Amino acid sequence: MTLDDTHDPALRSWVASAQAEDTDFPIQNLPYGRLRPRADPQAPWRIGVAIGDQVLDLREAAARGRWDAATAARLAPLADGDLNALMARPSAERRALRAALSAALAEGSAQQAALAPAVAPAAAFEHDLPCRIGDYSDFYAGIHHATAVGRLFRPDQPLMPNYKWVPIGYHGRASSLRVSGDAFPRPLGQVRGEGDAPAFGPSQRMDYELELAFYVGPGNARGTRIAIDEAEEHFFGVGLLNDWSARDIQAWEYQPLGPFLSKSFASTLSPWIVTNEALAPFRRPFVRPAGDPAPLPYLDGAANRAAGALGLQVETWLQTAAMRAAGQAPVRLSQAEVADAAYWTPAQLIAHHSVNGCNLQPGDLLGSGTLSGPGPGQAGSLLELTVGGREALHLPDGSERRFLQDGDRVVLRAHAQREGARRIGFGDCAGTLLPAQ
């Protein structure tokens, strides 16, 4: 990834709120979401771009703007709500569209008058998932999470012998993915009982998991593989993912084939996909702790090392039902640096996933695994923050948490910032746990 004019921190938009210091969506960001006007529930879904506290509606923009033929062709599927069509295109085309949108939204653009009617407040739109997700795979790249959880289950061997070699992952459930704002009932299931027989009922150990969502670009044909140094080309962008987990169901079901119903009841995604291009200024060197093995050759390449790791800060916030009723804002439970938390880069996950000939398709979702930093207050799950439920968290409403309670709302946030670049963010990824049905 190289930087271009769209990353210039001095670039300003004619959408005034994009200049706000604390906005997640300055003109340097330009993330994509799938949405439609709340006022018209019959309106077709379309792709929009967040800009300040507004949205550029690409259905309106395609119709009202003046675009060269190549840009018009790229906008056409987006006007119809199909982000996968853009994801399938080469990165050069994705960069060209970004440049066209950046120019159109920049101060002084000749398009301002034509496009102003295509801009409306973000609150005027409802969101769907940002793209069609054919397959969802969830990785386990958070090494401090893997170590902490492993310690609870296997004190003698927290990290498996394969951990530093294999980007561990498993297949997830695509049908129950929902966009931020979702609410879902506490799942029922089997849990370990007193004797041989299990108990059955609502999970008593409900948890969240703070993850990044990596979206696949063009992908590969089945039977071929994506080389590590080509993997950035197939890394479309990033969202937030809450991989809700029922720890008691998981502990009883997961041997020998892994988590299943402990995860498949719901997973929540943020509405916006921040593109790989937007994140270019925030890359960091990919470093391995001293003494750790070098990645195998298929996971190690000059271009991958040059592209580096993601530089992002991630946070978890909690708002109980009582806090909501009292008008109290969510409280932050954790924050972590992704570069500290993730043992593998998105490119390594893509290269690994396809090395056996498995075909990745545009819009496929790769979860990072829970992202926990090495220090206190940096863990991306309650399981870690409460040491398996043994140490309660004390909340501003006077209650305490070992696991989630009904009505709890969990909000994931992320942003990228560094000297000399405009800070960009991801918006909220929020979900609420309802009582069991």
Choose which of 256, 289, 327, 376 interacts with a copy of itself (CB under 8 A): 256
Closest approach, Cβ 162 to a copy of itself, in A, equals 6
Taking CB atoms within 8 Å and a gap of at least 24, the contacts of 35-41 are 35/125, 35/126, 35/127, 35/128, 35/271, 36/81, 36/125, 36/126, 36/128, 37/120, 37/124, 37/125, 37/126, 38/124, 38/125, 38/126, 39/124
Q: What is the dihedral of CA 86, 89, 91, 97, to 10 degrees?
A: -40
Q: Which is nearer to a copy of itself, 271 or 367 (CB)?
A: 367
Bridge partners (DSSP) listed for residue 400: 394
Question: Cα-atom radius of gyration of the chain, to the nearest Å?
Answer: 22
Choose which of 80, 107, 126, 135 interacts with a copy of itself (CB under 8 A): 135
**Closest among 129, 115, 110 to 35, alpha carbons compared:** 129
Q: Which is nearer to a copy of itself, 399 or 405 (CB)?
A: 405
Q: What residue numbers does the annotated binding site cover?
A: 138, 140, 154, 209, 211, 243, 250, 254, 263, 267, 370
- Find the DSSP H helices in 106-219: 112-115, 143-153
The SS3 call for residue 152 is helix
Closest approach, Cβ 288 to a copy of itself, in A, equals 14
Q: Which two tokens stand for residue 224?
A: 């071929």
Closest approach, Cβ 328 to a copy of itself, in A, equals 27
Q: Which is nearer to a copy of itself, 130 or 259 (CB)?
A: 259
Q: Is 114 in the site for a copy of itself (CB under 8 A)?
A: no
Please list every residue from 222 through 241 that binds a copy of itself, using CB under 8 A: 222-225
Residue type, 247: R
Q: Is 176 in the site for a copy of itself (CB under 8 A)?
A: yes
Choose which of 352, 401, 402, 415 interacts with a copy of itself (CB under 8 A): 352
Q: Which is nearer to a copy of itself, 25 or 244 (CB)?
A: 244
Choose which of 298, 331, 340, 421 interacts with a copy of itself (CB under 8 A): 298
Q: How many residues bind a copy of itself (CB under 8 A)?
A: 66
Choose which of 99, 160, 303, 322 interacts with a copy of itself (CB under 8 A): 160
The SS3 call for residue 383 is helix
Q: Is 128 in the site for a copy of itself (CB under 8 A)?
A: no
Choose which of 37, 181, 198, 389 interacts with a copy of itself (CB under 8 A): 198
DSSP string, 62-78: HHHS---HHHHHHHHHH
Q: Which is nearer to a copy of itself, 45 or 163 (CB)?
A: 163
Q: Which two tokens stand for residue 322?
A: 């009582």
Residues annotated as catalytic (active site), given as ranges: 145
Q: How many CB atoms lie within 10 A of CB 283?
A: 20
Q: Which is nearer to a copy of itself, 37 or 185 (CB)?
A: 185
Choose which of 23, 102, 137, 335 interacts with a copy of itself (CB under 8 A): 137
Q: Is 291 in the site for a copy of itself (CB under 8 A)?
A: no
Q: Is 214 in the site for a copy of itself (CB under 8 A)?
A: no
Q: What residue numbers does the annotated binding site for Mg(2+) cover?
A: 243, 263, 267
Q: What is the dihedral of CA 195, 201, 204, 209, to 10 degrees?
A: 110
Distance CA 12, CA 28 (A): 9
Q: Is 288 in the site for a copy of itself (CB under 8 A)?
A: no
**Burial category of 257 from C-beta neighbours within 10 Å (exposed 0-12, middle 13-18, buried 19 and up):** exposed
Tally of residues, the chain: 437
Q: What residue numbers does the annotated binding site for substrate cover?
A: 140, 154, 250, 254, 370
Pair 113, 77: CB distance under 8 Å: no
Taking CB atoms within 8 Å and a gap of at least 24, the contacts of 400-404 are 401/318, 403/204, 403/205, 403/206, 403/207, 403/247, 404/206, 404/207, 404/208, 404/433
Pair 215, 240: CB distance under 8 Å: no
Stretches 56-64, 205-213, 247-255, 309-317: which one binds a copy of itself (CB under 8 A)? 247-255
Bridge partners (DSSP) listed for residue 434: 185
Q: Which is nearer to a copy of itself, 40 or 194 (CB)?
A: 194
Q: Is 357 in the site for a copy of itself (CB under 8 A)?
A: yes
Q: Is 388 in the site for a copy of itself (CB under 8 A)?
A: no
Q: Is 92 in the site for a copy of itself (CB under 8 A)?
A: no
Residues that bind a copy of itself (CB under 8 A): 134-135, 137, 140, 150, 153, 160-162, 165-166, 168-176, 178, 184-185, 187-190, 196-198, 200, 222-225, 246, 249, 252-262, 264-266, 293, 296-298, 352-353, 355-361, 364, 437
